[in-house]
Structure 1
Amino acid sequence: MDSKTIETFFLNVGFKDSDVTYIPCSGLTGQNLVEASSDAALTSWFKGTTLLQAIDKLKVPDRGVSRPVRMCISDVFKGQGSNMCVSGRLETGYVQNGDRLMLLPHGDIVVAKGVTADNGAPGNSFAGDHCTLTISGITDTNDIHIGDFLCDPMKPIPQ
Structure 2
Amino acid sequence: MITGTSQADAAILVIASAQGEFEAGISKDGQTREHALLAFTLGVKQMVVCCNKMDEKSVNYSQSRYEEIMKEVSAYLKKVGYNVEKVRFVPISGWQGDNMIEKSDNMPWYKGPTLLEALDMLEPPVRPSDKPLRLPLQDVYKIGGIGTVPVGRVETGVMKPGDVVTFSPANVTTEVKSIEMHHEQLAEATPGDNVGFNVKNVSVKDIRRGNVCGNSKNDPPKEAADFTAQVIILNHPGQIGNGYAPVLDCHTCHIACKFAEIESKIDRRSGKELEKNPKSIKSGDAALVRMVPQKPMCVEVFNDYAPLGRFAVRDMRQTVAVGIIKAVTKKEGGAGKVTKAATKASKK
TM-score above 0.5: yes
Q: Which amino acid aligns with 1:152?
A: N
How much has 1:72 moved relative to structure 2?
0.8
Query: Runs of 5+ in structure 2 lacking a partner?
Result: 1-64, 93-97, 223-329, 331-348
How much has 1:11 moved relative to structure 2?
4.3
How much has 1:59 moved relative to structure 2?
2.9
Q: Determine the C-alpha separation between the residues in 1 that align with 2:113 and 2:167.
A: 48
In proportion to residue count, which structure has more strand?
2
Distance 1:151 1:29, change over 3 A: closer
Alpha-carbon contact 2:213-2:221 (below 8 Å) kept: no
Which residue does 2:201 correspond to in 1? 137
1:23-51 deviations in whole A, cap 9, x for unaligned? 7896489459xxxxxxxx76xx96xx766
Which residue does 2:176 correspond to in 1? 112
> 3-state DSSP class of the match of 1:141?
coil
Alpha-carbon contact 1:109-1:137 (below 8 Å) kept: no
Q: Does 1:60 align with 2:149?
A: no
Q: Determine the C-alpha separation between the residues in 2 that align with 1:110 and 1:10.
A: 49
Which residue does 2:85 correspond to in 1? 18
Q: Determine the C-alpha separation between the residues in 2 that align with 1:129 and 1:147.
A: 17
Which residue does 1:87 correspond to in 2? 151
Task: Give the TM-score normalised by the residue count of structure 2.
Answer: 0.35
Which residue does 2:66 correspond to in 1? 2
> 3-state DSSP class of the match of 2:155?
strand
Q: Which amino acid aligns with 1:112?
A: V
Q: Relative contact order (C-alpha < 8 Å, sep 6+): which is higher?
A: 1
How much has 1:125 moved relative to structure 2?
2.1
1:81-121 deviations in whole A, cap 9, x for unaligned? 3611111121112222222211112432211112112x444
Q: Determine the C-alpha separation between the residues in 1 that align with 2:101 and 2:210.
A: 47
How much has 1:73 moved relative to structure 2?
1.1
Instruction: Say how many residue pairs are matched.
Output: 145
Which residue does 2:163 correspond to in 1? 99
Which residue does 2:216 correspond to in 1? 153
> 3-state DSSP class of the match of 2:189?
strand
Q: Does 1:126 align with 2:193?
A: no
Alpha-carbon contact 1:100-1:110 (below 8 Å) kept: yes
Instruction: Please report the RMSD computed on the Cα atoms of aligned residues, expressed in angstroms.
Output: 3.2
> 3-state DSSP class of the match of 1:143?
coil
**Structure 1, 73-82 or 148-157: larger mean CA deviation:** 73-82
Distance 1:30 1:151, change over 3 A: same
Alpha-carbon contact 2:139-2:150 (below 8 Å) kept: yes
> 3-state DSSP class of the match of 1:126?
coil
Distance 1:126 1:7, change over 3 A: farther
Q: Determine the C-alpha separation between the residues in 2 that align with 1:107 and 1:28.
A: 48
Which residue does 2:60 correspond to in 1? none
Alpha-carbon contact 1:76-1:146 (below 8 Å) kept: yes
Q: Determine the C-alpha separation between the residues in 2 that align with 1:99 and 1:125.
A: 11
